[in-house]
A and B are shown apart, each in its own frame.
Chain A
Amino acid sequence: MKSLRHRLLFAYAMVVLAFLYIPIVVLVLYSFNASRINAQWSGFTLDWYISVFQNRYVLEALYNSLTIGLIAMVVSTILGTMTALALHRYKFRWKGAIHSLVYLPILIPEIVMGLSLLVLFSQLAIPLGKLTVIIAHISFCISFVIIIVLARLEGLGREMEEAAQDLGATPWQTFRYVTFPMISPGVMAGALMAFTLSIDDFVISFFVAGPNSTTLPLYIYGMVKRGVSPEINALSTILILFIFLVTVALVILPERFRNRMGDKKTQRQMPF
């Protein structure tokens, strides 16, 4: 009886996974399809990948996505880590309120966020372009960085920092040699998370992008309007592969760090 229950459970799990991944698998498969028409399989080819990489617009969009992603990652990681440290260390008025305000952008619908940023930029007469996309990405990435770093800090306690100060470390030395090395897995996870979120984002970018700031998701959307072509499949496959690699890094890197740090938890888990 038990084995039947096991098999049923296994089958159920497989169905769920299939539901999640079949669309993606189909997309990846058709990116290798020799025929232009999606519905029909007529042989294996890499032509679409070659044509994607020969397309100037695609390369430009890729370049935009990467630069925006990197800048948004660096800035939001620095600001977010600093905010998390302040929230963790100090007691001040409205701390609870600020704490909740930090979480709110995660819950606010992206479309509302995009629209409000657009209104803000036009009020301030900032021309839409790379700068506005970067600002927008930073503003939603910060929240994720704060949450991830704060989780790490909370597991740390005050004792390590007190011990460092007691042994003669100035506040800066304490941060440099004790606090930062101990929260660095969290900081790194936050940075990778910010980078993926920025690369992924469509809705907010759609509102605040201007000429010369078309990101990859925006470009793909533009192409789809002219019908789904195998190039889009190829481009999407590249994007999926890229995000997949970053996610793997997101899971593995903090894990390796954690082992080095000697935490008892060896369970593999996403850092958020």
Chain B
Amino acid sequence: MKAMIELQNVEKEFNGQLVIPPFSLTINEGEFFTLLGPSGCGKTTLMRMIAGLEIPTRGEILLAGSPVSKLPPYKRDVNMVFQQYALFPHMNVEENICFGLKMKKVPLHEQQKRAEEVMALTELTEYRYRQPKELSGGQQQRVAIARAIVNNPKVLLLDEPLGALDYQLRKHLQLELKKLQKDLGLTFLYVTHDQEEAITMSDRIAVMNKGHLEQMGTAHEIYHEPKTRFVATFIGENNILCQGDYCYALRPEKVNLHDPAIALEKTSTYRLYAGVVENVVFQGTIDKVFVRLREKDFDLPVLMAYQYFDDKRRWRPGEEILVGWEGPDAVKVES
């Protein structure tokens, strides 16, 4: 696999304050790569450095093998979809889409040909003469993407492009974006704070916190084998069980709930603890069951478990209960 973007010990200071400590990362060609982290973790700054809108204080950025960190944004072969789209209000849809080609003095007939293609791809042909203000949020978002991909960039940078849309549309566009990326074979670098979005779309995810990389891997690895406590709790829900210096992350869906009155056959790796149901919260497809453990082995008084409805049994607060899980399902994490 060919490396498309390489960050080599990239650092960024703002007013003498280190926002991003030395950061290295390789993104492969044709990959859907996501930077995931809470707001203020430096993911947007990192993306802006790749786009050329910020200059790294130290370190080098390679784009398809050649160093670009000294190049201004208009000389870099990457394009960005901005969070608020930043469509030019004084141009119609077609003019917005042709802007990049026009600036690069692409011949007019080729401008038109490529614009037609991209408008067909993003289903914008019928809106070509509309002003941005006359479009819905989803349509504006498509213009922002069309305006970027018409330039055939090496990498498409997307800065929380779905953040301003409502939930249903966001769900829909997640799949659309993923499909678009596959069809075009384009490298996508996606920035989001929404873990669900990251898991749905990405080939690989880099989880960031306070400017540094917490963990990098496929969505599966990130979800099932979190390396740090931050990753374990930021992605999905987790119980963090600490015994002395060691901490384990246990997904609530891995926890089984047993009636103490019914005898159980235990395997050697099966862990079983007694407790009392403290609270049950209805969540649609599941009940979230909170169990107060009798033993004080862990630094965790209340354990969370998912009770799926096909399991028939519904628990009520105050009931005696046994919680159990397979030993390997509790993943060791750095605290």
Q: A167 near B99 (CB under 8 angstroms)?
A: yes
Q: Is A170 an interface residue (CB 8 A)?
A: yes
Range class of the A interface residue count: 20 to 34
Q: A162 near B132 (CB under 8 angstroms)?
A: no
Tell which of A159, A163, A261 has the most Cβ of chain B within 10 Å: A163
Q: A165 near B151 (CB under 8 angstroms)?
A: no
Q: B53 near A260 (CB under 8 angstroms)?
A: no
A173 to B104, CA, bound (A): 10
Range class of the B interface residue count: 20 to 34
Q: Which of chain A's residues 159-173 have a Cβ closer than 8 Å to chain B?
A: 159-160, 162-170, 173
Q: A262 near B73 (CB under 8 angstroms)?
A: no
A262 to chain B, nearest CB (A): 3
A262 to B130, CA, bound (A): 11
**What 0/1 readout, one digit per residue, does chain A (144-170) give for beta carbons within 8 Å of chain B?**
000000000000000110111111111
A207 to chain B, nearest CB (A): 43
**What 0/1 readout, one digit per residue, does chain A (244-272) give for beta carbons within 8 Å of chain B?**
00000000000000001111000000000
Q: Is B100 an interface residue (CB 8 A)?
A: yes
Q: Is A115 an interface residue (CB 8 A)?
A: no
> Hey, which chain A residues are within 8 Å of B99, CB to CB?
164, 167, 169, 177
Q: B90 near A260 (CB under 8 angstroms)?
A: yes
**What 0/1 readout, one digit per residue, does chain B (130-151) give for beta carbons within 8 Å of chain A?**
0111000000000000011001
- In the complex, the chain B residue whose C-beta lies closest to that of A169 is B103
A169 to B104, CA, bound (A): 7
- Quick one: given A165-B74, A168-B74, A262-B132, are A173 and B82 in contact (CB under 8 Å)? no
Q: Is A71 an interface residue (CB 8 A)?
A: no
Q: Which of chain B's residues 216-256 have a Cβ closer than 8 Å to chain A?
A: none
Instruction: Enumerate chain A interface residues (CB-CB to B < 8 A).
Output: 159-160, 162-170, 173, 177-178, 181-182, 260-263
Q: List 19 A-B contacts (CB under 8 A).
A: A159-B82, A160-B86, A162-B53, A162-B82, A163-B82, A164-B88, A165-B72, A166-B51, A166-B73, A166-B79, A167-B148, A168-B100, A169-B74, A177-B99, A177-B102, A181-B90, A182-B90, A262-B89, A262-B131
Given A165-B73, A166-B73, 9 more pairs with CB closer than 8 A: A159-B82, A160-B88, A162-B53, A166-B79, A168-B104, A177-B99, A178-B88, A182-B90, A262-B131
